[in-house]
């Protein structure tokens, strides 16, 4: 495992996805258990994506007092039928929420017809139960949750909003096998905003896979700007970025080239 710091973001690179997921899960569990020594409950935001699979598989095996943990999920499509397998709430229910006995799980309602009311309802829950930890990934277009570059606001006054998904984001859903064709991907989704995600004292960001290599490079090397939403992670003192060799490929290659030049 290789580790370094980019601004305030602590970065770890592992040999493979399994090692990455296991270590991230152990670190998250340690943080939860430390918090539970001084708090009655811990509130956590979770992402629903294939990039989280190894982390979630290991996370549910950790020794945690789950009945003192409450869960949120960070985004949800609008307009899909209830119990549709593409729903992010269903993804997390199958892989996490049904696996361990959380005290409470707070779901975004993708079937809500009054979008503003649903945003306000979920925002009120976030204010009532301030988030301690965010477990997340980064999109191929560097989005955080569904904060794609064209709608990302680092100083967003809202905690939850409805956004339209950009083409790169929709194509990623197809690439990951969630939909057969881009035309099937919903146009709109609920998302927690960037300030809502970064409100957590600690952020564990798991980003495996070759398809994320360019996004990882931007995250660590580009200017901190809403054009690349994930760059804001470099300004969070409690954030960790977990990578493996494929997702870190461009960073590793650049480091090798610089080493050769310096030599």
pLDDT, position 170: 76
- Integer Cα distance of 167 and 190 in angstroms: 17
- Integer Cα distance of 116 and 217 in angstroms: 35
pLDDT, position 168: 81
Q: What percent of the chain has pLDDT over 90?
A: 84
E runs forming strands in the chain: 2-6, 9-14, 42-46, 69-73, 75-77, 104-106, 133-136, 160-164, 188-192, 202-206, 239-244
Angle between helices 213-221 and 249-262 (to 10 degrees): 60
Instruction: Calculate mean pLDDT across residues 32-42.
Output: 98
More confident residue, 232 or 85: 232
Report, in angstroms and rounded to the nearest whole number, the Rg of the chain calculated over CA atoms. 18
Question: Which of 15-19, 82-86, 127-131, 176-180 shows the lowest per-residue confidence on average (mean pLDDT)?
Answer: 176-180
Over the stretch 97-135, which tens digit does the pLDDT of each residue have?
999 999 999 999 999 999 999 999 999 999 999 999 999
CATH architecture of structural domain 2-262: 3-Layer(aba) Sandwich (3.40)
Over the stretch 129-186, which tens digit does the pLDDT of each residue have?
999 999 999 999 999 999 999 999 999 999 999 999 888 877 888 777 777 778 887 7
pLDDT, position 178: 74
E runs forming strands in 140-222: 160-164, 188-192, 202-206
Structure tokens at 46: 């979770």
């Amino acid at each position: 495992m290789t580790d370094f710091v980019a601004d305030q973001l602590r970065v770890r690179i592992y040999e493979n996805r399994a090692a990455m997921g296991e270590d991230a899960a152990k670190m998250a569990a340690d943080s939860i258990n430390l918090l539970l020594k001084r708090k009655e409950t811990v509130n956590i935001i979770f992402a629903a994506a294939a990039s989280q699979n190894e982390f979630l598989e290991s996370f549910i095996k950790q020794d945690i007092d789950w009945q003192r943990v409450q869960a949120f999920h960070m985004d949800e499509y609008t307009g899909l039928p209830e119990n549709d397998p593409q729903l992010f709430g269903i993804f997390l229910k199958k892989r996490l929420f049904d696996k361990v006995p959380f005290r409470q799980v707070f779901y975004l309602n993708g079937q809500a017809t009054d979008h503003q009311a649903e945003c306000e309802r979920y925002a009120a829950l976030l204010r009532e139960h301030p988030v301690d930890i965010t477990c997340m990934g980064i999109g191929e277009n560097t989005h955080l949750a569904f904060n794609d570059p064209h709608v990302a606001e680092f100083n967003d006054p809202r905690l939850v909003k409805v956004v339209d998904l950009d083409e790169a984001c929709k194509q990623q859903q197809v690439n990951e096998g969630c939909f057969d064709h881009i035309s099937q991907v919903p146009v709109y989704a609920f998302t927690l905003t960037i300030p809502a995600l970064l409100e957590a004292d600690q952020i564990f960001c798991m980003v495996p896979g070759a398809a994320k290599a360019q996004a990882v490079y931007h995250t660590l090397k580009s200017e901190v700007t809403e054009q690349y939403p994930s760059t804001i992670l470099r300004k969070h003192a409690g954030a960790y970025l977990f990578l493996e060799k494929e997702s870190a490929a461009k960073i590793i290659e650049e480091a090798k080239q610089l080493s050769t030049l310096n030599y």
